[in-house]
Amino acid sequence: MHIVETVLGNASDPVWKAKLADAAVDTLELSQWDAQKNRLRKDTRNGQTIAVSLDRDAFLHDGDVLLWNEQVKEAVLCKIDLCDVLVIELGGLQKLPADQLIERCVQLGHALGNQHWPAVVRDGFVYVPMAVNRLVMNSVMNTHHFKDITFRFAPGSEIAGLLGPAQARRLFGGTERPMDGGHSHASPDGHAHNHAHDGHHMHDHDGHCHDGHCHR
């Protein structure tokens, strides 16, 4: 059994990318939720038993180098099953006057923050990891029916390549911390009802949404 108390690096870092280019790589495969644990024991794909014992505030990230044998060029990497991602496109806001653009961005930020969903902004898109059930996230977005903003869901593997290492770690870090935000549910009439942490119950019935496109 191998005990891992510190992470050696990450496969996305240039130095490690070069080292691993001709190395024999074994993987410790974790679900995104298992990756939130700083203590766990599991076998790698090739049958090596790994006991992870990290500091309390440390968490594993996809691509972390857990073991490295320089003499025989062998490594064990952490592979996290990446969650789907909510992709919010902001391109439609560019045509708006500055005051309206700011208003839309504040409204979107408030909606995401009210749910305690982490987000990464890059090149006119906001990326949000699948924090809860897709139906719930879709309901939250439809409830607010943001004008001039569209959204879709995409596989994490599709989005990971669009981000820098730091952004990818924030989005998929597991990963960084359990996501315990507010919650939302949809009623039979198709309207979503959001519950904020201050106990208020919010309804939004005007406007409509379809296929990720929202209109007032």
Residue 25 sits in a domain whose CATH number is 2.60.260.20
Are 37 and 92 found together in one domain? no
pLDDT greater than 50 at residue 85: yes
Residue 204 has pLDDT above 50, yes or no: no
Position with higher pLDDT, 148 vs 33: 148
Does residue 167 surpass a pLDDT of 90? no
Domain boundary among 50, 80, 110: 80
Question: Looking at residue 9, what is its pLDDT?
Answer: 94
**Token representation of residue 13:** 């870092």
Q: Same structural domain for residues 109 and 207?
A: yes
Sole residue written with tokens 């309804």: 203
Q: Are residues 6 and 106 in the same domain?
A: no
- At what angle are helices 98-114 and 134-144 packed, to 10 degrees? 150
At residue 95, φ and ψ (nearest 5 deg) are -80, -10
For the chain, the maximum distance between any two Cα atoms, rounded to a whole number of angstroms, is 66
**In terms of domains, do 24 and 95 share one?**
no
Average pLDDT over residues 35-46: 89
Mean pLDDT over all residues of the chain?
A: 79
CA distance 126 to 145: 16
| Same domain, yes or no: 128 and 209 | yes
104 and 200 share one domain: yes
> Domain residues for 33?
2-80
110 contacts: CB under 8 Å, gap ≥ 6? none
Q: Per the structure, how many domains does the chain have?
A: 2
Least confident of 27-31, 38-42, 155-159: 155-159
CA distance 206 to 143: 9
- Report which residue type is found at 138: N
Residue 86, pLDDT score: 94
Which pLDDT belongs to residue 168?
A: 76
Q: Is there a single domain that holds both residue 112 and residue 198?
A: yes
Question: 59, 80, 101 — which closes off a domain?
Answer: 80
70 plus 98 within the same structural domain: no
The confidence score (pLDDT) of residue 32 equals 67
